[in-house]
A = this chain, B = another copy of it.
């Protein structure tokens, strides 16, 4: 089954706004075995939208139109889809009453324009909107001799996602031939994509019934696996078999096999080991602390830390000896160790992490180039230090340094 997504809104044709709903919808469609073959973005111009919908009806089975269901003049999706289908709009009495009621409850009179939100395409079902006023529409119809599903969804992501999940998924499952799709994602940290692919290609190419996709972000490589079979257990079995082979090859480089983020995994391990962490950051400037505390519940394992941008604060908050900074320089293996050691002692945590480096773009030298970062981990028995030379801009160097630190904590407690 093929789908086309049409995103409606002149703001989506400016440099400022981008359609992101389609990523969510694509994932949902794919999980049901539906392939998205076109995405079209059109402004709030009725002839343009009529043309886009007509074309979509001619080339795919499912047409999903997002946006343009509001009450203003610019909201032309209902009219345009009806015109493309050659059917009428009918004002729905129940919807209209509900609109009046909503305004009455707020002791406001409803502007005349708003009543258009009660217009239904002939033959369409109402998709209730749990998070807003604009109802969606679901039409299961025949165009020419072909069955077509036409779905109208509101543009605001919160409304769209809730409506898709609650209203569209069950209808799509009922309307589509049953498909049994098993999916899994394995995530790896701090390995180059080329290395992961070189090691895994000989494995996954032998599973030609499992669709694999390798995605790389800064410091993270993801292997997405998907398999479709007549029987779900068989599909799941194939995905799991491939995942096992991949795990054998990559061993502890894999940090997550169920979609968790690196931050979540690190906090999970810390918690089950009853361990706590404190961090002293120089070049990452609070990024590591910020990433760990972005997870709800992190306060059970993350005690806190120091952002020690100046030499003075390295001494003040992490007891780094002043002469060590003078002798070795603020960016050095020894200062990273002292930061880890000092912050651990100060916070009385199970482990201490120290990071110092040169994020750039300025401040580098031949001996200590931009991208040089030392990351130290002190567990009270030993101090491990990792020296890395990261390439990229300031943002990337800082991100990779925090990623490396998280991966070191993970390996310590896994």
Contacts and interface: CB of A to CB of B under 8 A. Distances in A.
Interface of A: 12-18, 20, 23-24, 26-27, 30, 35-43, 45, 48, 51-52, 55, 59, 213, 215, 224, 278-279, 281, 284-290, 292-294, 296-299, 302-310, 312-313, 316-317, 346-348, 359-362, 394-395, 398
A398 B294 contact: yes
A30 B348 CA distance: 57
A163 to B, nearest CB: 18
Interface centre among A15, A18, A279, A292 (most CB of B within 10 A): A15
Give this chain's copy count.
Answer: 2
A303 B296 contact: no
A359 to B, nearest CB: 8
B306 A305 contact: yes
Contact of A15 (B16, B30, B51, B306): B30
B395 A294 contact: yes
A142 to B, nearest CB: 23
Contact of A285 (B41, B59, B290, B310): B290
Given A285-B298, A302-B309, A303-B313, 4 more contacts: A13-B39, A37-B43, A296-B360, A306-B317
15 contacts: A13-B26, A13-B36, A14-B30, A17-B215, A18-B20, A37-B48, A41-B41, A278-B313, A284-B293, A289-B307, A306-B306, A312-B347, A316-B346, A317-B317, A317-B346
A42 B39 CA distance: 7
Given A286-B288, A299-B309, A304-B313, A294 B394 contact: yes
B39 A14 contact: no
A305 B303 contact: no
B310 A307 contact: no
Contact of A307 (B18, B38, B304): B304
- Nearest first, the 4 A-B pairs at minimum CB distance are A285-B293, A286-B289, A286-B286, A15-B27
Nearest to A16: B215
A233 to B, nearest CB: 25
Contacts of A41: 38-41
Contacts of A307: 279, 286, 289, 293, 304-307
Contact of A286 (B35, B290, B296): B290
A74 to B, nearest CB: 14
B15 A23 contact: yes
A174 B40 CA distance: 30
